[in-house]
Structure 1
């Protein structure tokens, strides 16, 4: 047994990198289960819903229930449905995110002049035309949100631009920052995680590879944090960051040392 009652685990860069399972990840998950920790997977990927991670991890022998998975897409959809029900959302994002929003009964419009809410996210087809439409949608005091702040996304070949890069362009033309970023490390994300886990933040461990999202989420919410060095943040980033984890692990495989 352990003092932790629950663990929040990032996925990309923590359990997998691209499609490859990171060494020791399966043993680490088994150790957490044996220690009696409730598990929640939380990805800032804004293009995927909860079902995706069951399909992604099943070939590696890891069983995942969709109810134990959150993504920045599902958190954003739930938040907009709860706070802007019936309002038209202009989306800068991909088709998968649009489908997740619509599944949550969020009305999406392609007309920037009809926008009552604007949501910015990862869009591999982002262009000058998209940015021009976003500028039109953001006129006035329309609420402006982002799914996640990740400037880059780790892939097998390295990194690609993420939602944070697109949001920076939208901020620049609109002359204002988003009213809120809804994925990690926001208070919205922390509340969504705690609602799923139904546990005390002080007895919850957050494990992830990003200082500015995973570790910041835990620090702000009063959780214990562990940075793994298998993804975006390395020791150089750690040395220059104001965000400090409680623990630094070479990989998720070392999480057993904390139990």
Structure 2
């Protein structure tokens, strides 16, 4: 198998909540010894890359900010390319809002002056947020979501993700998003390929979700590996049109696959 780079999902593949999955650290080390580049790619918009890298280091995986690409990174890139300077009204957690502000996105706290609404993960989502969405979204206002994950894997099971918030906003406004970033969006795929510096047909993508991880890899010509440590199950595989190249129990099985073992 001619593989030079790896895109590795985090939540459900390397981590579950704040806990490192068994064998994940050794697997990342083995991948780095074999490949030119390993990139962590997550649809979690709440944690900035430098914070994710620090968390990984605390858990025993060497990582720098440039080794992590998040759905908020992709959202910022999309806004810069398509809505530069336009005031954005965020319906999202403070950590996402802070990242948007730090990246230079023009923000407004008045929904009626917004030219873009950005919706994402929000544990304090409230009725007033739905009202703000109604006030903000008209035919000329763009609607952007950070990522499509309806649920996320945690140590206590699955919890609502950004997709749940985006769908709530879409439902109350009767308006579908103009763009949803994160995996499997084209923007995220392009950013990942640029960061890796390796042709996509020489990359493997490892993740736990058919609809985001495997779908993005399939669209871009990467070898795809679904691991059973997160969201998608064997039953989901049977019902899905998305077909991974390989299905493995965990990330720890990937180095052996690449070595032909």
Same fold (TM over 0.5): yes
Aligned partner of 1:134 in structure 2 is 133
In the comparison of the two structures, how many residue pairs are matched?
258
Q: Given that residues 81 and 104 in structure 1 are in contact (C-alpha distance below 8 angstroms), is that contact kept between their aligned partners in structure 2? A: no
Residues 46-195 of structure 1 aligned to structure 2 (within 5 Å): 46-195=45-194
Task: Kindly report structure 1 stretches of 4+ aligned residues shifted beyond 4 Å.
Answer: none
Confirm whether residue 22 of structure 1 aligns to residue 21 of structure 2. yes
For 1:144 and 1:93, the matched residues in 2 are separated by 13
Deviation at 1:243, TM superposition (A): 1.0
Cα RMSD for the two superposed structures: 1.1
- Distance in 1 (CA, whole Å) between partners of 2:228 and 2:218 is 18
CA distance in 2 between counterparts of 1:16 and 1:145 reads 27
Q: Deviations over 1:169-220 (max 9, x none)?
A: 1111221211111111000100010111111110010000011100011011
Contact 2:205 2:213 in 1 (8 A): yes
Q: Identify unmatched segments of 5+ residues in structure 1.
A: none
**TM-score (normalised: structure 1):** 0.97
Q: Report the CA distance between 1:136 and its aligned residue.
A: 1.2
Distance (whole Å) between structure 2 residues aligned to residue 55 and residue 176 of structure 1: 38
Structure 1 match to 2:44: 45
Q: How far, CA to CA, are the matches of 2:224 and 2:53 in structure 1?
A: 25
Spell out the pairing of 1:218-229 with structure 2 (5 A cutoff): 218-229=217-228
Query: For 1:82-133, what per-residue CA distance to the aligned partner results, in whole angstroms no more than 9, with x for missing partners?
Result: 3212110011101111111111110111111011011111111111111111
Displacement, 1:79? 2.0
Q: Contact (CA 8 Å) 1:78, 1:104: kept in 2 or not?
A: no
Preserved CA contact (<8 Å) 2:86 2:115: yes
TM-score with structure 2 setting the length: 0.96
The alpha-carbon deviation at position 142 of structure 1 amounts to: 1.1
SS of the residue corresponding to residue 152 of structure 2 reads strand
Please give the secondary structure, in 1, of the residue aligned with 2:247.
Answer: strand
Residues 11, 153 of structure 2: 8 Å contact kept: yes
d(CA) in 2 for partners of 1:222, 1:137: 38
Whether the 8 Å CA contact 1:212–1:243 is kept in 2: the answer is: yes
